[in-house]
Amino acid sequence: MTRRTVAIVGRPNVGKSTLFNRLAGGRRAIVDDKPGVTRDRQFAPIEWNGRAFFLVDTGGWVAGRQDRLGAAIRAQIETAVREADAILFVVDAKAGVHPADQEVASLLRPLRDRVVLVANKLDDLGRAPLDTGFYELGFGEPCPVSAAIGKGTGDLLDLVAERVLPETATDTAGIQVAIIGRPNVGKSSIANRLLGTERSVVAPEPGTTRDAVDSLLRYHDVTFNFIDTAGLRRRSKVIDEIEFYSTLRTERAIERADVCVLVVDAARGVEAQDLRIAQRVIEQGRGIVVAVNKWDLIDEKEPNTARRGEVTVKERAPELSGVPFVYLSALTGQRVRKLLDVIRAVAAELDRRVPTAEVNRVLRALVERNQPPQRAGQEVKLLYGSQIGTKPPAFAVVSSHPEAVPEAYRRYLLNGFRTAWGFAGAPMRLALKRRKGRR
């Protein structure tokens, strides 16, 4: 399901970050009584009444402020407004209409169909009358809330879901493939080589690609939808509004994808940020392929260069032990077509099922080889198992004391399952359950 974007905007100190934290279900944004605390954007995934969206917090719009910081905050708010599918325009119900509210309203009026006016700080909903000046802002009846104590926030989400956000449909065009990675590793060049055309702008400067661009490719009777995305940097390096939204688009691309191609630079190897990106893909249950680009620049006089690099990476990051690596060059076309075959294979692995009899055969062999640790004199038994899901492959094992099975033994079981069945590039899940009716 493709997530939309909902931006929270308004002048300083009207409770935008408090509302963000309340709707996101946690203290993600810094909250302070001083105006202007929020300068950079924060975002969080939200699901409500069948709608999935990213909620984005922004800095406060300061009336008439002309200094460099004020201009930067205005620029990020303008970007948030352009990018958003829906906008929560927050005002302070206690303070009444402020000149800065009027400035924000002027910015938003061309987009009034996407705007919900939110009157915040109404702790006594239904008792305190609203300032009639809010109606003059041009966005209809304000939605009253108290972000601090949570009153009215459910009604606000209902309003956003029903009136502003259209239904989001599941992608159906073949295999959805997100091309991800750090900036300037050749993501667009790989997409262009596969598609045979300059669909995405390619330049040596990092950060050229700003938008996620979808492109269809038919190969061996299979349709691939390639989502070319902007490069992911560490959050601390996401310093301007364009890069922030590039990161957000990449997050959405990972959510849409069946398989993610993590592109790394052959000369630099797999860096810490690459491992963090890979972990994000694995956490979301997407298939993953590592494409080592610019392999034409590597001296292959020494034998097994590729294999040694791959082993080193997998030693550093055990979660990549089942991930296929493709060593290619977008510039020369070396092994680029092989990438399609590997993506197709990983997509098939995501959807593969193992018969229950086979699961139990492998489970018994693993237990015989290495018994689970015992619990305070009680025998911990693993009784039987089965596959309970796909995309990603998920397995359940029934145990006499599931809570007593340590994490290391869970990893042992998962590694044994992967050794037996492969599931190359597909993250695997394991749930330990208690037999019904037993305590």
CATH of 4-164 given 3.30.1360.40, 3.40.50.300, 3.30.420.40, 3.40.50.720 = 3.40.50.300
Least confident residue range of 64-73, 102-111, 152-161, 345-354: 64-73
Q: Parse the chain into domains and list their residue ranges.
A: 4-164, 175-350, 356-434
Same fold, 175-350 and 356-434: no
**Which is more confidently placed, 251 or 16?**
16
pLDDT band at 201 (very low <50, low <70, confident <90, very high): very low
Alpha carbon separation from 329 to 50, 168, 295, 314, 340 (Å, rounded): 42, 36, 5, 22, 14
Q: How confident is the model at residue 200 (pLDDT cuts 50, 70, 90)?
A: very low
pLDDT score at 71:
73
> Which of 15-24, 63-72, 245-254 is predicted with the least confidence, judged by mean pLDDT?
63-72
- Per-residue pLDDT, averaged over 313-330, amounts to 82
Residue 44, pLDDT > 60, answer yes
CA separation for the pair 417, 422 (Å, rounded): 8
Mean pLDDT of the chain: 80
The angle formed by the CA atoms of residues 9, 10 and 15, to the nearest 5 degrees, is 95
Exposure class string for 141-160: b at 16+ Cβ within 10 A, else e: ebbbbbbeeebbbeebbebb
- Mean pLDDT for 392-409 is 93
Which residue(s) pair with 101 in the sheet?
none
Predicted local confidence at residue 38, as pLDDT? 40
CATH architecture, domain 356-434: 2-Layer Sandwich (3.30)
Helix or strand (DSSP H, E) at 215: strand 213-219
- In words, the CATH class of domain 175-350 is alpha beta
Is 200:186 a contact under the CB 8 Å cutoff? no
DSSP 3-state percent helix, strand, coil across the chain (nearest 5): 35, 20, 40
Check residue 30 and give its pLDDT. Answer: 41
Task: Transcribe 122-159 into DSSP letters.
Answer: -SSTTTSPPPGGGGGGSS-S-EE-BTTTTBTHHHHHHH
